[in-house]
Amino acid sequence: MIKVVKFGGSSLANAEQFKKVKDIIKSDSSRRFVVPSAPGKRFSADTKVTDMLYACYKLAEEDSDFDDTLKAIHDRYQEIIDGLSLKASLDDAFETIKKDFKAHAGREYAASRGEYLNGMLMAEYLGFPFLDSAEFIFFNEDGTFDAEKTNATLSKKLAGMQNAVIPGFYGSLPNGRVKTFSRGGSDITGSIVARAVQANLYENWTDVSGCLVTDPRIVENPKVIDVITYRELRELAYMGFNVLHEDAIFPVRTAGIPINIRNTNSPKDPGTLIVENTSRKPGFTITGVAGKKGFTAINVEKDMMNAEIGFGRRLLQAFEDNGISFEHMPSGIDTMTVVVHQTEFEAKEQTVLAEIHKLCNPDSIDISTDIALIAVVGRGMKSNRGVAARIFSALDRASINIRMIDQGSSELNIIIGVSNTDFEDAINVIYHAFVQ
């Protein structure tokens, strides 16, 4: 059994959290490869180390004095070193960082040092070898991730190792310059390492006991999802479900490796298992409810639209030509609706509308604004009758008007559009309609 374990920033914010992490790793000898994030907040008003590094590098870019800011970052790590009674010193590493900041090594280099330094401390604390991710995780010249080169190099390196610490979030470009994933990218690194060692399980340790059915800021104490498929997670992640970086799914999905979301502060909780597929019945008819505010729907009407070849392509071209991506596109016989982010559309709306008239010659165009989209997702929806009816009835009882409906052909999800002002209430009533 081989497990790759990734720990988020809140799990490594201070020495006490480091001790919890060591206990978790040492309690299971199959937890062999460790991917740490940079230290997160120690308390609610605290600042994450990554944000401190960004602020420090901004001063360096401006050729302003950044010694005090860099010292504050050094002090954060020294606090961990002292709390763990380590003999390690990061003085040389900080001298290198100072020199590189003065040489304007790049914002991504600056951000990556949080994980780099934390990885060094974690390796020292655990007694594991440390691998600099810049030497084993590669990006192409255009900034896209080079999955195959990375997998080949990392697989070869880790094949002869019993344990290792590989810091998350960053790798390198062909010229050797440090390149980072998007924020939260340590999740992706953990997934890459799991694929490279052909792990049996990728454990992603954070500060919640798994994926919740819905947002706890909207619904009080929502239930934890015990098992969720990659497809379900992708549908929910698209709508803001953010326990795991959505790009972290791809490396392990191709290798058939499950992900287990666990809580560092409650290590006995089983968490949520993310799998390719499962015969296990879900605890509820729905798996999750998530959503976002701030959409606009452009409804285009034209008689005999269905008989006009290429109409949909031309309609979407008006948005593409203006650099606007569409989110959903529900349609009828003589109507087609394009749903887009409101802020993107407002800046170019008159240009887009003129282009639609030019390309499509519609009978009318209607615009609806301030729409919130809610995704109701679940593999159990396909085998249960009346799911849509329960959703609509619950919203009706709460006097919430449905402004749009879009259901995928897979029957895995239903997208509901409501007014922004009804968003939180709609999430609540849908959750309680299915979860007792």
In a domain, 395, yes or no: yes
Summarize pLDDT for 368-388 with one digit per residue, the tens: 999 999 999 998 888 788 888
In a domain, 242, yes or no: yes
Q: What is the largest CA-CA distance in the chain?
A: 77
Number of domains in the chain: 2
**Proportion of the chain above pLDDT 70, given as a percent:** 99
Mean pLDDT, to the nearest integer, of 238-259?
A: 83
Q: Is the pLDDT of residue 126 over 90?
A: yes
Mean pLDDT, to the nearest integer, of 377-402?
A: 90
> What's the CA dihedral at 431, 432, 435, 436 to 10 degrees?
160
Which residues are within 8 A (CB) of 162 and not within 5 positions of it... i.e. 6 or more apart?
32
Q: What is the pLDDT of residue 282?
A: 81
Cα angle value 39/40/41 (rounded, 5°): 130
Q: Which of 223, 243, 275 is the last residue of a domain?
A: 275
Note whether 78 and 186 are same-domain residues: yes
Note whether 185 and 45 are same-domain residues: yes
Q: What is the pLDDT of residue 409?
A: 64
Mean pLDDT, to the nearest integer, of 229-244?
A: 81
Q: What is the pLDDT of residue 311?
A: 93
Note whether 269 and 302 are same-domain residues: no
Note whether 298 and 230 are same-domain residues: no
In a domain, 281, yes or no: no
CA Rg value for the chain: 24
Q: What is the pLDDT of residue 189?
A: 96
Q: Tell me how far apart the terminal alpha carbons of the chain are, to the nearest angstrom.
A: 37
Asked if 166 contacts 198 with a C-beta cutoff of 8 angstroms, the reply is no
Note whether 234 and 294 are same-domain residues: no
In a domain, 345, yes or no: yes
In a domain, 13, yes or no: yes
What does pTM read for this prediction? Answer: 0.86
Mean pLDDT, to the nearest integer, of 347-351?
A: 94
Strands (E), 26-163: 31-36
Note whether 305 and 168 are same-domain residues: no
Note whether 236 and 380 are same-domain residues: no
Mean pLDDT, to the nearest integer, of 407-426?
A: 88
Q: What is the pLDDT of residue 239?
A: 76
Q: What is the pLDDT of residue 408?
A: 67
Summarize pLDDT for 260-317 with one digit per residue, the tens: 999 999 999 999 999 998 888 888 889 999 999 999 999 999 999 988 999 999 999 9
| CATH code, 238 | 3.40.1160.10
Note whether 224 and 84 are same-domain residues: yes
49 closest CA partner among 186, 145, 144: 186
Q: Which of 275, 300, 323 is the last residue of a domain?
A: 275
**Proportion of the chain above pLDDT 90, given as a percent:** 82
Q: Is the pLDDT of residue 238 over 80?
A: no
Q: What is the pLDDT of residue 328?
A: 87
Q: What is the pLDDT of residue 69?
A: 97
Note whether 202 and 340 are same-domain residues: no
Note whether 23 and 131 are same-domain residues: yes
Note whether 225 and 312 are same-domain residues: no
| CATH code, 323 | 3.30.2130.10
Note whether 257 and 293 are same-domain residues: no
In a domain, 400, yes or no: yes
Which residues are 69's β-sheet partners? none
pLDDT-derived band at 259 (thresholds 50, 70, 90) equals: very high
Q: Which of 246, 275, 304 is the last residue of a domain?
A: 275
The domain in which residue 318 lies consists of 288-434
